[in-house]
């Protein structure tokens, strides 16, 4: 079987066509899971899909788990992030989806030369957002 022919059997479902590459399919699935994760946090609901889970307690504090590893805690005033012991692309994707939903625009986790960093908003100068790059540490808190 030639490379790429394995997905030729896919039918068009929820905007996915046989012409999507495997990377595109992966991104579509991740975006769906991440949007469901955000919706669960916003509605203070417990939720689980595949490798991702949201547990919300009576104080409306949501904890996000990836493969059973705690990667984030979100409350009304802050978000604390961890790598759960795995600095994987999936972990980074989940954390950045959380940053997009609950942090200042532009705050995120990124990797350079195999090292993780956090881009954190520190203020504005002449109307322009200013960010500081910090080394990623477990328990990093956006407030």
DSSP codes, 78-116: -EEE--TT---HHHHHHHHHHHHHHS-TT-EEEEETTEE
C-alpha to C-alpha distance for 111 and 98, rounded to whole angstroms: 17
pLDDT 10s digits, 57-66: 999 999 999 9
pLDDT value, residue 30: 61
Place of tokens 């009304």: 76
- Whether the CB-CB separation of 116 and 103 falls below 8 Å is answered with no
| Segments making up each domain of the chain, as ranges | 5-142
C-alpha to C-alpha distance for 44 and 87, rounded to whole angstroms: 27
Please give the share of the chain, as a percent, with pLDDT higher than 90.
Answer: 77
Residue 34 predicted with pLDDT over 70: yes
pLDDT 10s digits, 69-123: 999 999 999 999 999 999 999 999 999 999 999 999 999 999 999 999 999 999 9
**Structure confidence at residue 31 as a pLDDT band (50, 70, 90):** confident
- Whether the CB-CB separation of 84 and 91 falls below 8 Å is answered with yes
């Amino acid at each position: 079987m030639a490379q790429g022919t394995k997905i030729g059997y896919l039918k068009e479902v929820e905007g996915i066509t046989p012409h999507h590459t495997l990377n595109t399919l992966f991104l579509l699935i991740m975006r769906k899971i991440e949007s469901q994760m955000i919706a669960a946090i916003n509605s203070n609901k417990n939720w689980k899909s595949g490798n991702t889970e949201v547990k919300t307690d009576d104080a409306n504090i949501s904890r996000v788990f990836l493969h059973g590893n705690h990667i984030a805690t979100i409350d009304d005033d802050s978000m604390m992030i961890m790598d759960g012991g795995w600095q994987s692309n999936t972990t980074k994707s989940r954390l950045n989806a959380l940053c997009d939903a609950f942090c200042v625009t532009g705050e995120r986790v990124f990797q350079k030369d195999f090292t993780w960093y956090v881009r954190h908003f520190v203020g504005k100068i002449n109307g322009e957002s200013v960010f500081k790059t910090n080394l990623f540490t477990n328990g990093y808190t956006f407030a």
